[in-house]
Amino acid sequence: MLRRLALAALVVCALPSSAAANPSFAVDVAAEGVPGNLPSKVTHRLTMTAGATPETLTLTTTERMTASGANVAVGQQRAVSATFNCGTKWSRHHGARDLSTRFMVDLTLAPGATAVVETVTAYDDAPWASDTLDAVWDVTPAQGSPFFITSTAPDYRGGMGVQLDFTLVRRSPGAYAVAGTTDRDMSSGRVELWGYAPGADRARKLASVRVRDGVWSVPNLRPSRTGQWEFYARYKSAGRTYADDASQCGTITRIR
């Protein structure tokens, strides 16, 4: 069942005072599989009611929308996409939720008309700590300043992905210290460090270490040769709480 969320606290800072009551807005959400296993999805419903005058506006969000309503003119939906490109040999796009595309639709509401717009947010893979199933609606009126409305999803409590980060510091000729972190305070699983040697088309595993309190390290990495290397990390889960994961892009380092 859809539940009504109070919008006053969400839009009071962003909504122009001249448009605060014209039109009016309300948000409902319906959750499926939260908490639970993948995939999880949330349906966000934005309801707009015009005042005494016609209202024309553009809605923009990160998922495809459906719009309906009596005496509501709905324009053709359009999309603008960005391309994910690491520029490295290793590339693994974090696919929990695809935010690379922005969808836009124009609406014109007759006086007193109500438009209902729905969009669905979903996880297709294990999310990172920074991911949410929230929907953010950017509203651009034909007259007045743009503002946004946030539709807050319930917390997801299924298996989580692990975002990895690391740096390499040269200790001595040919020897490097690798200091790595995860995006949460965890003591579970292992991290493997992989590397492409200079001129190599295939990576090989260089180290495997445990994660403790969200930290992992390779204190004495000695690559087999000098030159330009590319490194990336893989997380290997030890249970159901966290899922296998990996760096999004390679890290290029000149070994000397």
pLDDT in tens, 86-123: 999 999 999 899 889 999 999 999 999 999 999 999 99
Confidence label for 128 from pLDDT (cuts 50, 70 and 90): very high
Distance in angstroms (rounded) separating the CA atoms of residues 130 and 114? 34
Between these two residues, 256 and 14, which has the higher pLDDT value?
256
3-151 shares its CATH topology with 164-255: yes
Q: What's the CA gap between 164 and 129, in Å, rounded? A: 11
Q: Rounded to whole angstroms, how far apart are CA atoms 140 and 181?
A: 40
Average pLDDT, the chain: 90
CB 6 within 8 Å of CB 152 = no
Domain extents for the chain?
Answer: 3-151, 164-255
Distance CA 52, CA 188 (A): 59
Cα–Cα distance list, 217 to 79, 166, 173, 190, 207 (Å): 42, 9, 19, 11, 10
Spell out the SS3 assignment of 118-149: EEEEEECCCCCCCCCCCEEEEEEECCCCCEEE
Residues 6+ away with beta carbon under 8 Å from 192:
205, 207, 208, 233, 234, 235, 236
Q: Which CATH architecture has domain 3-151?
A: Sandwich (2.60)
DSSP β-ladder status, 78-81 and 164-172: unpaired
Provide the CATH topology of domain 164-255: Immunoglobulin-like (2.60.40)
The pLDDT assigned to 39 comes to: 64
pLDDT bin (cut points 50, 70, 90) of residue 37 is: low
Residue range 157-212, pLDDT digits in tens? 888 999 999 999 999 999 999 999 999 899 999 999 999 999 999 999 999 999 99
**Residue 229 contacts residue 255 (beta carbons within 8 Å):** yes
Alpha helices in the chain (DSSP H): 8-11
pLDDT (0 to 100) of residue 84: 86
